[in-house]
Amino acid sequence: MDPMGFEDQVSITVEDEEILSLDSEVNSYPSNPEQFEVFAKNGMTIIDEENTEHEVIKKCFLNGMEQFGKNTNVVAIHRNSNSSFTGKARKETFRIFSEAVAKKSGGDANIKYAWYGASRDEICEIMSHGFSRLRKPENGQEPYGLGVHLSPQNFPSDGVSSSVMDQYGFRHVLLCRVILGNTELVRPGSEQFQPSSNEFDSGVDNLSSPRRYIIWSPYMNSHIFPEYIVSFTAPGREVSRTRVVRPNSPYMKFVSLLSMLSNFLPRSRMVLIFKYHSEYQANKISRIQLIRRLRQLAGDKLLTDVIKFYRNKQIEARTR
């Protein structure tokens, strides 16, 4: 069942050019708190999309999605609040080990941001109890040692491949701080499970341009600190290679929508809707922000009823 209550594909044409897809973009916005309630229970707080922190992480994520970034939609970003006793202890543990590795490595702990994709349940388990499992290579791939494998900040697409769609159609990845210290090369097929000597702290698949960080299992809860959860929707690789087909159902011009809404909404709300549309045209707010505010002012039920009424009238006119 669609979590947002929109049963049909509904599109609005803005000035005959910009398409607002209420079936994809609106439905992906987390207006239902149940979708992310489990994160809140595990000490995560949602970051407002207008917050600079949100924008920086979103940009980093989408830029690193390579050819899939255009069709990827960031739905929500949560921050680890570290408010519980356990959360504070884990943060302090990370700080202590950072200082220890820095002292050992000549002053630099080599801390990086890295991505870790998983199912929602595994991510919640990590946030509650820490890392507890080591994955086996998928699709016949050779192992790169026995440890927790993360993707560098610039390559979230590698971590996304391990994410799993939840019941709401969302995928999730962790953005973690990772203590790398002195890294050593780990070759494919290796069954290494700890540093080869006291000189090293972690492994990589390439010393100059790594696409994989390997944190050995003894250090997975002292050298990895989960800081954010990025929730998103993205097409499968097979979908991204196909031509995008526009829906055949009639488009509704934004001016037509406003004209119909004016019969139901008070003037004060219509003034605000026109104001937000002007801001969208001037690139002051994003498409999803326009949709979000339109929904807040008009309500999902009214929007659905108006657009369905318009569609039915257009279909009737075509069949006469």
Statement to judge: residues 153 and 286 lie in one domain:
no
Q: What pLDDT was estimated at residue 244?
A: 35
Whole-number Å distance between alpha carbons of 116 and 149: 8
Which of the two residues, 292 and 196, has the higher pLDDT score?
196
Domain assignment of residue 50, yes or no: yes
| Residue finishing a domain among 198, 213, 240 | 240
Domain assignment of residue 6, yes or no: no
Domain assignment of residue 293, yes or no: yes
Which of the two residues, 295 and 117, has the higher pLDDT score?
117
Confidence of residue 235 (pLDDT cuts 50, 70, 90): low
Statement to judge: residues 265 and 312 lie in one domain:
yes
Statement to judge: residues 273 and 156 lie in one domain:
no
Statement to judge: residues 171 and 310 lie in one domain:
no
Statement to judge: residues 76 and 131 lie in one domain:
yes
Alpha-carbon distances of 124 from 119, 226, 233, rounded to whole Å = 9, 11, 19
For residue 231, the number of C-alpha atoms closer than 13 Å in the C-beta half-sphere is 27
Statement to judge: residues 44 and 189 lie in one domain:
yes
Confidence of residue 34 (pLDDT cuts 50, 70, 90): low
State the helix-helix crossing angle for 287-298 and 300-319, rounded to 10 degrees: 100
Q: What pLDDT was estimated at residue 319?
A: 66
Range of the domain at 296: 11-30+250-319
What mean pLDDT is predicted for residues 129-145?
Answer: 74
Domain assignment of residue 82, yes or no: yes
Identify whether the C-beta of residue 98 lies closer than 8 Å to the C-beta of residue 109. Answer: yes
Mean pLDDT, the chain, integer:
79
For residue 158, give the 3-state DSSP assignment: helix
The domain spanning residue 140 has which CATH number? 3.90.228.10
Whole-number Å distance between alpha carbons of 320 and 318: 6
Statement to judge: residues 24 and 80 lie in one domain:
no
Statement to judge: residues 140 and 198 lie in one domain:
yes
Confidence of residue 320 (pLDDT cuts 50, 70, 90): low
Q: Report the domain count for the chain.
A: 2
Q: What pLDDT was estimated at residue 89?
A: 92
Q: What pLDDT was estimated at residue 33?
A: 54
Residues of the chain above pLDDT 70, percent? 79
Statement to judge: residues 90 and 230 lie in one domain:
yes
pLDDT at position 103 over 90: yes
Statement to judge: residues 227 and 257 lie in one domain:
no
Q: What pLDDT was estimated at residue 49?
A: 82
pLDDT at position 41 over 70: yes
| Residue finishing a domain among 179, 214, 240 | 240
pLDDT digits (tens, 9 = 90+) for 264-288: 999 888 888 888 888 877 777 777 7
Domain assignment of residue 120, yes or no: yes
Among the ranges given (77-91, 108-122, 124-138), the one the predictor scored with the smallest mean pLDDT: 124-138
Domain assignment of residue 3, yes or no: no
DSSP per position, 211-225: S-EEEEGGGTTTSEE
* CA dihedral for 14, 29, 64, 79, sign (positive or negative): positive
The torsion angles phi and psi of 214, rounded to 5 degrees, stand at -120, 115
Whole-number Å distance between alpha carbons of 113 and 277: 37
pLDDT digits (tens, 9 = 90+) for 46-84: 898 888 999 999 999 998 887 666 778 888 999 998 888
Instruction: Find residue 175's DSSP bridge partners.
Output: 115, 228
Which of the two residues, 28 and 291, has the higher pLDDT score?
291
